Structure 1
């Protein structure tokens, strides 16, 4: 369902405020086609006239016409695939997550964007990886494995003035690119860090949940991976999968160097008996 709603906005030139509205509609795809302009404005944190201007920007005479189109998009088919009779809430959440991964796989038929992003990150020395709040575990997971194939990975998982200091240090050390993992609810510090990195001359690759997220708008390269919203807290299966695909593409970008580094790690792990037999 969210993909159908997102399809209504793809290719449109939207202002930052309009992107917030589009993102709210995508995040609440099941409900928004039946809400008033005032209710959509409240969801997006904007004014009601902004919702009207958003509808006009998409070629509609007003919000009611956009709502009709949203209803048609939602009514085009089942939102999350067929539900099994008698499924528990946990089963429905996991089935929906599986459907999300299938749709993500369809979107990755052309993996040139991931390959290009991987080349940028692989070439950066050092490689800063940003992940604040909810995005922290995904960034940490990526950073853990990236350190096995990259000589200098710097995890940026703390906000405050120290974050800016560490960005400056990475740039001074020669960094040319940064991976920013930014997931809902988008921390203001993470968005400010992307702005700081861009101003310092870094190329920013954003792993985020939607093409209309505020991080995608700020980044040079956006890798959208939807999150699951069926539970109290989001499921990050999609972003985690794309992070691993990005790592695979980094390996493919320099296979000989990667193989050498992996063999060195295995030698060290064996000598130190890091892992149990």
Structure 2
């Protein structure tokens, strides 16, 4: 079987149909030690405290012909998920410059298609009674900053995290059930980002996650997951599709808030204009 969707995405798609035993298997596979799936079917069944036939039915339910095909796909996915720029250098092509732009265009289009399936995210961000916290990672913090810049203008009541770990904890301690925490987390997922997501989830916040098709562990805690394909043919993953998704949500949030956003922007422009005048 071949699929553009990762196994974790397939699991999410099939989640409503899982039996209690299959859910035990899901918890094990999506836990901190995904390498448990690389042993025999009987070893995996024992680890999950289920039967071997349950493991086989689970693989077939996801669309695989059997456990060996599922296991090979799982191994390939783990290798991709943990790939570093150093490892990816060996897989780049000499003609990359000729196709790089076309590949990015395809990835952006795919990312926007994913965003169109997340209309609930726009409605969530448009709730002006809810404070929003935004956090990125080592490479994705610019995405968080970009979304913050938009939301600060369009709706206000938004905080940026990720600039100082100590300040992050100081901010998270005040997070409540009324709040929204938006997190950007892509492969080679950061433990500190996961820790922050767990804290926010434990305090009842609604989590919105932007991630890749292999899904950050934070996906298990999130109410909304926005996926983009980040494989560009370069030694480095691309965040261009995710940037396009940020702009897509900003555009639709502006439309959703309508006059409220327009009046806020007018007030901001008036204030900026007054501060630009030289003193008398």
2:193 aligned residue: 190
Deviation at 1:17, TM superposition (A): 4.8
| C-alpha RMSD of matched pairs (Å) | 3.5
State the distance in 2 between where 1:3 and 1:58 align.
17
Which ranges in structure 1 are unaligned for 5 or more consecutive residues? 22-40, 71-85
2:269 aligned residue: 266
Q: Deviations over 1:112-164 (max 9, x none)?
A: 333334335x4413x21111212201001111121111223211014644322
| 1:190 match: secondary structure | helix
CA 1:50/1:268 → structure 2, altered by over 3 Å: closer, same or farther?
Answer: farther
Which ranges in structure 2 are unaligned for 5 or more consecutive residues? 16-22, 46-54, 75-92
Residues 1:92 and 2:82 are matched in the alignment: no
1:124 aligned residue: 130
| 2:135 match: secondary structure | strand
1:64 aligned residue: 68
Residues 1:49 and 2:60 are matched in the alignment: no
Is the CA contact 2:115–2:245 (under 8 Å) kept in the aligned structure 1? no
1:18 aligned residue: 29
Is the CA contact 1:191–1:214 (under 8 Å) kept in the aligned structure 2? yes
Q: TM-score, normalised by structure 1?
A: 0.70
Deviation at 1:47, TM superposition (A): 5.5
Of residues 207, 211, 226, the one that matches 1:208 is 211
Count of residues in correspondence between the two structures: 234
Of residues 156, 159, 170, the one that matches 1:154 is 159
Q: Deviations over 1:235-264 (max 9, x none)?
A: 101111111222223223321210011111
State the distance in 1 between where 2:124 and 2:229 align.
18
State the distance in 1 between where 2:40 and 2:266 align.
56
Is the CA contact 2:37–2:71 (under 8 Å) kept in the aligned structure 1? no
CA 1:119/1:98 → structure 2, altered by over 3 Å: closer, same or farther?
Answer: same
State the distance in 1 between where 2:143 and 2:225 align.
16
Q: TM-score, normalised by structure 2?
A: 0.69
| 1:129 match: secondary structure | strand
Aligned counterparts, 1:20-39, within 5 A: none
Is the CA contact 1:119–1:253 (under 8 Å) kept in the aligned structure 2? yes
State the distance in 1 between where 2:103 and 2:189 align.
23
Q: Deviations over 1:184-206 (max 9, x none)?
A: 22111111111111111211111
State the distance in 2 between where 1:183 and 1:68 align.
23
Of residues 230, 233, 246, the one that matches 2:233 is 230
Residues 1:114 and 2:139 are matched in the alignment: no
State the distance in 1 between where 2:181 and 2:111 align.
23
Larger RCO of the pair (alpha carbons < 8 Å, separation 6+): 2
Deviates more, 1:44-53 or 1:190-199: 44-53
